[in-house]
Each structure stands twice: as structure tokens, then as C-alpha cells.
Amino acid sequence: MYQNLSILRMAGQMASNAALRQSAVAQNVANADTPGYKAVDAPSFAETYRDDQSLSLRETRAGHLGAFDQGSETRLAPRQAPGTESPNGNSVSLEHEMVTAAQLREQHDMALAIYRTAQSVLRTSLGRGA
């Protein structure tokens, strides 16, 4: 019953999105001086969550037809920011990466706060206290 609470699923997805995008930031910073490197990113959580809430059919159990071949996994893609390339073809802006990293930390902290609050509400509802 408690394994499929949508608020806990949403918090987990938010934390996963923050982790994926944070790995993209780390990859971008590591390649900041690589000639020809194009900065990568993943869609924001708001975009992926909005897409996930569509009214299309989706699998809810592993046994459903096409359950694991839908390709719903989010991938890193080159960031589209025209006019931001340096003369050597690199498109990484360290200032942008640091701002993005701070925003992603806030997103991850929010996901943890949602998870902790939901856990506290569940414990209280079961009579186990906070």
C-alpha cells in the first residue's frame, strides 16, 4: 500500500533528475578546456515530470507488453545555446555550470525534504510518532 505513493515516487524522480543533471555539470566542468567539446545537459525535472503525466498508455508492471523497450530513460544531450562557443569550439561556461550546480543542489534538497515530510506523515498515521 505505501510502496506506491505518488509523492514518494515524485520525490525519487526529482532526486534522480538532479543527480543526472549534476553528473552533466561535472562532465562539463571536467571538459571546460577541451577543444571542440559541446556542453551537455538533460531536460529539467519540470519538463520530464510534465511529459510523464501525459494521458498516453504506460506500463505499470514489468509484465506488461513493451514494459522495458519504450526508451523512457533520460539521456544527456548537447545544450543548445547559440553564440556561446569559444574560439576553440568549446561551449562550456564555468559561470553557467556553477549556477546550475547550485540550483540542482536546491532541487535535491527539496526532494529530500519532501521525502522526509511524507515519511513523517506516514509514521504519524501509523501511530509511531515522528
Domain map of the chain by residue range? 2-125
CA–CA dist 100, 85 (Å, integer)? 18
pLDDT in tens, 67-126: 444 444 568 888 877 667 888 989 999 999 999 999 999 999 999 999 899 888 888 988
pLDDT in tens, 2-37: 556 788 888 889 999 999 999 999 999 999 999 999
3-state DSSP call for residue 57?
coil
pTM across the whole model: 0.74
pLDDT at 71: 44
3-state DSSP call for residue 124?
helix
CB neighbour burial string for 18-50, b if at least 16 within 10 angstroms, e if fewer: bebbbebbebbeebeeeeebbbbbbbebeebee
Specify which residues 40 forms β-bridges with.
78
Residue 106 φ/ψ, nearest 5 degrees: -60, -40
Lowest mean pLDDT among 44-48, 52-56, 100-104: 52-56
